[in-house]
Amino acid sequence: MDFIAFSCKGFLCYALGFIEVMRQQNIGFTMIELVITLVIAAILSAIVTPSFRTMVMNNSIVAQTNSLVSAFHVARSEAAKRDVTVGVVALESSDNGNEWGRGWKIWVDTNNDGNFTAGEEVIKEFMSSDEQSRLDSTNDISVVRYSAEGFLIPMMPMVLEVCDSRVGEKGRTVTLSPSGRVKTDHALVCS
C-alpha cells in the first residue's frame, strides 16, 4: 500500500489511527455476550409477563364496565328523545350468576310489556368479547327499562357487579338509581 506522507498533529492523527485499527479487528458478538443478553431478556420477560397479564385483565373489566354504562346512557337518552319507554335487556336472562355476561341490547319497548319481543326496534346490541368476565345483577334482574322522563321502571335501584375469574381481586359495581342515573365504583372485591 502506498501512503502519502504528510504530517498530522492532534486529534486528526488519533482518529485516522483508530479507524485503521478498527479495520483490522473483527466486529461482532462473542458467544458469551450473546448468552448473557439472552439470559437478561429471559429474566426481564419473566418479570414483566405476570404484570402484563394483570393489566390486560384489569383493562378488560374497565372496558366491560364502560360498555355497560354506555348502554344505560344511550337507553336513557333515547327514551327521552323519542318520548317512549326504552329498555336494555341481557342476552342471557338465566339465573346463572352471569346474566349480563354474554352481552345486551337496547330496544324500544313499543308494547310496554317489559320484555323484548319480535318486531320491536333494536337500537344497539353489545356482544361481550371477554369470556372471563362475569356481569351479574345482585337481584337477578335481566331487564332495565327507562320511561320517557328518564326514570327507571320500576323505580327501584339496581346494582351490577363486574368481575373476572380472579378471586379476591377488585372488580367494579354499576349502580342505577331510581332516577335513572348511573354510578360506578371500583371498591368491589370479587368472590
Residue 25 domain-assigned?
no
The 10 Å Cβ neighbour count of residue 149 is: 11
Residue 121 domain-assigned?
yes
Per residue in 42-85, pLDDT (tens digit) is 999 988 888 888 888 889 899 999 999 999 999 999 999 999 99
Inter-residue contact 153 to 176 (CB < 8 Å): no
Residue 136 domain-assigned?
yes
Residue 17 domain-assigned?
no
pLDDT for res 160 = 92
165 burial level (CB within 10 Å; 0-12, 13-18, 19+):
exposed
The residue segments making up the domain with residue 183 are 31-189
Q: Count CA within 13 A, CB hemisphere, residue 64.
A: 32
Mean pLDDT of all residues in 162-166: 87
Residue 146 domain-assigned?
yes
Mean pLDDT of all residues in 6-26: 55
Query: Binning pLDDT at 50, 70 and 90, where does residue 173 land?
Result: very high
Inter-residue contact 76 to 150 (CB < 8 Å): yes
The 10 Å Cβ neighbour count of residue 153 is: 18
Query: Binning pLDDT at 50, 70 and 90, where does residue 145 land?
Result: very high
Which CATH number characterizes residue 128's domain? 3.55.40.10
Residue 163 domain-assigned?
yes
Query: Binning pLDDT at 50, 70 and 90, where does residue 140 land?
Result: confident
pLDDT for res 22 = 52
104 burial level (CB within 10 Å; 0-12, 13-18, 19+):
buried
Q: Does the structure show a pLDDT above 90 at 96?
A: no
Q: Does the structure show a pLDDT above 60 at 119?
A: yes
Per residue in 19-38, pLDDT (tens digit) is 555 555 556 778 998 999 99
pLDDT for res 174 = 95
| C-alpha to C-alpha distance for 178 and 159, rounded to whole angstroms | 11
Residue 66 domain-assigned?
yes
Q: Which residues are CB-neighbours of 78 under 8 A, at least 6 positions away?
A: 86, 106, 108, 123
Q: Domain total for the chain?
A: 1
User: What is the three-class DSSP state of 23?
Assistant: helix
